[in-house]
Each structure stands twice: as structure tokens, then as C-alpha cells.
Amino acid sequence: MSSDALTSSEYIKHHLQNLTWGKLDGSWSFAHNAAEAKAMGFMAIHVDTMFWSTVLGLAFLYVFRKVAKNAHSGTPGGLQNFVEMIVEFVDTSVRGSFTAKNDLVAPMALTVFVWIFLMNMMDLIPVDWIPGITEAMGIEHMRIVPSADPNATFGMALSVFFLMLFYSIKNKGIGGFTGELTLQPFESKNVLLQAFFIPVNFLLEFVSLIAKPVSLSLRLFGNMYAGEMIFILIALMFSGGFAIGLFGGVLQLGWAIFHILIVTLQAFIFMTLTIVYMDMAHSEH
């Protein structure tokens, strides 16, 4: 949607509105504005987030599967060389941070890194291109950066969190896991004093435990949301005349080049913390 047809505030709100499907006034429909999306409640679905994350995930699976099937020991082509470089990079990260043995961790780290990287890269597409196309098709709202939606980042973070809990209990038993939450960091040989320390330890360790998925999700969401907002604000400059539009073009190019670093770094941080959390789930404390 062109910024000429809207005020600056309306333009920003329009681009930050997800395509939301939910139950409103007894019937299922798409939300036309933020108020309707809010009224739909917790069970509403951000269709654009689901669509783009699924498409990008399938694209990742297709390309990597194709390269794996056609891989050969001779001189690799450009795509095979690129995929092998990514796999080797992730494998090195896992070997450096994960000290136990679990065949799930490396594939999960690869999936997390590439999938989040692809979702983040959608932020580099000019903000009006795809929404403009979908609006011409009758779709009112379309956000194309899944990682700028906290529902997506919390979903991924909670998946990692539940895996961490599963392997903590599997490897240490319920007693061992409970002991980690109640018998550290404060401990004493005095039984009465240790009984006093148990709730204190539990409070500290529980906060630390819950903080992991929260920080994991909010870090990714915050960075990508901020990047998306900056691109939207720069896009507003193109409706301010030739000189301001030209300046906006220079800013957009500069921010896009810098944003490539942010896109890659956020995917790497999420992957690294996932590996570290899985290592903690396999380690005795």
C-alpha cells in the first residue's frame, strides 16, 4: 500500500498489522484492523506468519535434501559448496559447545540456524513490494517477516525449552533435575539451614530457568521488529519529494547492508544458545 494514500501513522500501523484469522462475534473471519485482531483473543492465528515460515522451512528442506541426494566426492558445484560450508560451520559450533552425545542436536542446530536466517532475510525485501501484490489480490494485510512476530519467536523458544526439560529429566531423572532446582547455589551441611535454602534456591533457579525461553524469543523478536520498523520509517521518506526520497534511498541501502549482519548474527545467537541449553540439559551440576 502506498504511503501517499495514508497518513504516516496509518501507514506504519498497516504494515505492522498481521493477517489475522479468528473468531469474531460468533463467526470465523479475517481481522480488518488491530482492534478486531485483539478482540479475537488468544486463539487467533497470524496466517501470514504461518504461511511464510512454512514456505521458508519447506524451501530449506527442499534445497538441502536436493544437495544431499546429488552430493558427490568430486569437485562440488556452487550450491553444494555453499551447503557444505553451512553444515561444516554448524558442526563446528556444535562440537565446540556441546560436550555430550545426542544425534538430535546437530540437525536441530542446522535447522534453527538456516530457518531463522531465511525468516530474517525477508526483512531485506522492500516493505511495499509483497504487501502491494497481495493487496491487489484482495488481501488487506501481509507481514512477511515471521521472526518479527513474537508468536513465532516464542514458539521456537518454547520448543527448545521443552526439549531442554525433556532431556534434563531423561538424563538426570526427576530427582536429579529437582535437585538442580533446589540444592544450588546455596548449600549447607546443616539440615535445618539446608531446608531454609531449598525455597530460596528454587526461586533463583526457577527464575533462571524461565528466563531462558523468554530471553531467547524476545532477543530475536526485538531485533527483527526494530529492523522492520526502521525500513518502514525509511519507506515513508519516498513520499516526501525527490530530495528526501533520494536521501531515503541512500539510508535504505546503508541500513540493508548493515542489517545483513544483524540477520546473520541473530540466527547464530539463537542457534548457539540452543546448543548451550541442550548441553546444560545433558550435564550434571
Report, as residue numbers or ranges, the catalytic residues: 215, 219, 223
Q: Which residues face 22 on adjacent strands? A: 29
- Residues in CB range of 87: below 8 A, 6 or more apart: 110
How many CA atoms lie less than 13 Å away from 4 in the CB half-sphere?
Answer: 6
184 secondary structure, DSSP code: S
Q: Distances in Å between the alpha carbon of 223 and those of 94, 141, 228, 253, 269? A: 24, 22, 9, 18, 12
For the chain, the maximum distance between any two Cα atoms, rounded to a whole number of angstroms, is 77
144 neighbors 134 (Cβ within 8 angstroms): no
CB neighbours of residue 68 within 10 Å: 11
- One-letter amino acid at 73 equals S
146 neighbors 52 (Cβ within 8 angstroms): yes
